[in-house]
Amino acid sequence: MDNSVLYDHRFSAAEVQAKQQVWKVLCEMILQKYLSPSDKVLDIACGYGDFLNHIKAKEKYGIDLGNFNKNYLNSDIQYSDRGIEGLGSYEESSFDVIFMSNFLEHLPNKRAVEDLLKQCHSLLKPQGSLLVLGPNVSVVKGRYWDYWDHHVPISDHSMDEALNLCGYETVYSLKKFLPYTTKLSLPKLPIFVKIYLSCPWVWKILGEQFFIQAKKKT
């Protein structure tokens, strides 16, 4: 599938810019807690650099398909356009943190999900972290299939099981964290994002994506 065509249809230029503002606040307030500025980080399916552009890390690597995102990625990001097929080019046990947002559900089947989790396991340093963010099928239910490229239904519980089978230990799990999509009509100004992230009780009402931190078992 041509990501550039799909994303051009799904996100306007204004929506891409709005997402960047949301992720800037999200990284500063929440996600930065899960990695150190001295870490080596890999973002799988890095898209427009929502995560990598705003996180503080010593080395940043991103992979995706094609170069539709090249004008959005900061210059300190080392980018590969080979997608997950290029993961074999990285050294084993070389990353402190691997991040994936809204990606696993796009893989063709559960076997592909397991294979990717195992690849990430080999790339992480001992006790390295895998951070996974994604739509929770147990919460969004039928709306999970509103996107043509969703193939694998995943919940927070099934994600935890898959991680355990692939050599990880879940150390933190949220069933409800972010809204399903930034395309919702909710306010996206940084001040409103800050208010949302400062109120975990609101997550239980509006949150439809899970967030999991898992550690590599040794």
Judged on CB neighbours under 10 Å (0-12, 13-18, 19+), 90 is middle
Of 42-51, 178-187, 200-209, which gets the smallest average pLDDT?
Answer: 178-187
pLDDT band, very low/low/confident/very high, at 4 (cuts 50, 70, 90): very low
Residue of higher predicted confidence among 16 and 190: 190
pLDDT over 80 at 134, yes or no: yes
Whole-number pLDDT of residue 20 = 86
Could you tell me the pTM of the whole model?
A: 0.91
Rounded to whole angstroms, the maximal C-alpha distance in the chain is 44
Q: Are 196 and 155 in contact (CB under 8 A)?
A: no
Fold entry, domain 3-216: Rossmann fold (3.40.50)
Whole-number pLDDT of residue 8 = 46
Q: What is the pLDDT of residues 164-196, one digit of tens each?
A: 999 999 999 999 999 987 655 455 678 889 999
